[in-house]
Amino acid sequence: METRLFKKRNGIIPACDVNNIQKLGTLVEETYDIDGVVGYKIGSILTLKYGLQKIVDRIRAITDLPIVYDHQKGGTDIPEISSGAFLNICKEAEVNAIIIFPLSGIKTLRMIVTNCKEIGLIPIVGGEMTHKGYLSSEGGYLSVDAPERIYKDAGSLGVKHFVIPGTKIKSIEKYSSLLAKTVHNPEFLFPGVGKGQGGDIISAFKATKLYASYAIVGRGIYAEKDMKGAARNLLKNISGQID
């Protein structure tokens, strides 16, 4: 039986990159019951300030929608650190999934995926980020083929959920097509769409229309005075792409 993280095939995941736990509560309360909001992504800044368990408990007091923890960037330490107590703490806090970018190598990726399976945590693997200057072709430090190798290795290890850059449509098309050849029913999450980084959410959904896909949206929702209205408008605008 395949592991499904989200109940719907497509939708929006609010990124909870807010400044305090009070605004976190407001964000979740305003959006959790909107059809098309499938889960929440929490990051390291909020959890460093309040603690992972407290952040998860605040969300759980409102909804049982899946919670994805983005350590920003998990998977960059030695295998034992990246796959040890860190994963157990996430599981104990009742996080459903974690995002990792295994930039420290294949051994780290293997141990994380293996240990996630053992404890019932879903690994979501990323390879290419949304900003310019990441790859060597843009002046960055990573070889151009590194993301593709990461995605391929993750797929071969049984990973089914992947983060792909919502700001780079050609990359979305490339990686989704690549992974669909070897992974049965892959699922894609794409950040970088909307106000912050300027990625086009409709184009991103069109590029992943054949697959289960989810837009991670931050400032386009939490920075709006009417968070509920902002989330509803986003879903209305893309409804033709995610039906």
| pLDDT, mean of residues 49-53 | 96
Question: In the sheet that 10-14 helps form, which strands lie side by side, from edge to edge?
Answer: 10-14, 212-217, 187-190, 161-163, 122-126, 97-100, 67-74, 40-43
> What CATH number matches the domain at 10-242, 3.40.50.300, 3.40.50.1820, 3.20.20.70, 1.20.1440.230?
3.20.20.70
CB 178, CB 154: distance < 8 Å: no
Rounded to two decimals, the pTM is: 0.94
Judged by DSSP in three states, 118 sits in helix
Q: How far is the C-alpha of 209 from the C-alpha of 179, rounded, in Å?
A: 14
In terms of C-beta density within 10 A (0-12 exposed, 13-18 middle, 19 or more buried), how is residue 30 classed?
buried
Q: Quick: pLDDT tens for 105-145.
A: 999 999 999 999 999 999 999 999 998 899 999 999 999 99
Residues in the chain: 243
Per-residue confidence at 199, pLDDT binned at 50, 70, 90? confident
Query: Among residues 226, 215, 237, which one has the least CA distance to residue 27?
Result: 226
CB 210, CB 186: distance < 8 Å: no
What mean pLDDT is reported for the chain?
93
| pLDDT, mean of residues 1-21 | 89
**Is it the case that residue 1 has pLDDT exceeding 60?**
no
Residue 194 neighbours by CB distance under 10 Å: 22
CB 115, CB 71: distance < 8 Å: no
Per-residue confidence at 4, pLDDT binned at 50, 70, 90? confident
CB 97, CB 69: distance < 8 Å: yes
What kind and span of H or E run contains 68? strand 67-74
CB 213, CB 188: distance < 8 Å: yes
| pLDDT, mean of residues 169-181 | 95
**Is it the case that residue 21 has pLDDT exceeding 60?**
yes
Beta bridge partners of 99: 70, 124
